[in-house]
Amino acid sequence: MRALLVLAAVDIEARGLARHLGLAPVSGSTFPHFRRGAIEVACIGLRASALEARAAHFQPPRLVISAGACGALAPALAEGALVIPDAVVDEDGARVATSALPGSEARGTLVTVARVVTSAADKARLWMATRALACDMESLPIVRWAQARGAAAAVVRGVSDTAAHGVPADLAAVVADDGRVRTMAAVRAALSRRGALTDALALRRGTTRALAAVAAALARAARA
């Protein structure tokens, strides 16, 4: 059976999408990995760093989907807004077209960056340089990985932080390279800076809205 293979960077994203879609954990998996029928969700780490190592555990995909949260660059995008690009670019201008996501319309571009964009000013500069709607750190390597293996690749992301807000560096640092949230690091970050707890709660709210929107789009894709 050829699956819809949904790849997310962070443990929270993979678990949240699996919960919305009613997927069960894959027995014996050593990383966040969920499946039901022809839908599969897996965590592949920041910048897709664990994708190659974990790929042997996936069903052969008919469509690979980069899914999860993103940061808005376009000022009009609100928390929870869907970004389904028709191409993914990098900061040097390299451009890779994506496949259609069944049940949804693709438009615009998403830029994949190598670091967390931590401020509204950085987002504004990136928006002016690329005109991309939003940014993430995984979609370009995921799309390239899929296409190199002859699979179609789509992207669906939900906005967790608007163009007016970056992700503070101390909160970004609580996520390990393999995508797992380091609980004690998260507690220390929340307690060590004035306003950090407020920032964390806002990011959690935005991520919750983003994942709900993405899960709905994935459910439409599965039905289609």
Spell out the domain ranges in the chain: 3-223
Instruction: Give the pairing type, strands 82-83 and 87-89.
Output: unpaired
Residue 163: the pLDDT is: 97
User: Which CATH number applies to 3-223?
Assistant: 3.40.50.1580
Please report how many Cα atoms fall inside a 13 Å half-sphere around the Cα of residue 151, on the Cβ side: 21
Q: Which stretches of the chain drop beneath a pLDDT of 50?
A: 1
Alpha-carbon span 87 to 154, nearest angstrom:
9
The residues with which 36 forms a beta bridge, in sequence order, are 39
Burial of 200 (0-12, 13-18, 19+ CB in 10 A): middle
Q: What's the pLDDT score for residue 2?
A: 64
pLDDT at 172: 83
Which stretch of DSSP H or E encloses residue 12? helix 11-21
Q: What is the pTM of this model?
A: 0.94
- pLDDT given for residue 223 in this prediction: 87
**Per-residue pLDDT, 17:** 98
**pLDDT value at position 157?**
98
Q: Are the beta carbons of 192 and 199 closer than 8 angstroms?
A: no
Q: Tens digits of per-residue pLDDT, 94-105?
A: 999 999 999 999
Nearest C-alpha neighbor of 175 from the set 157, 189, 162: 189
The two structure tokens encoding residue 220: 């439409």
- pLDDT at residue 219 in the model: 95
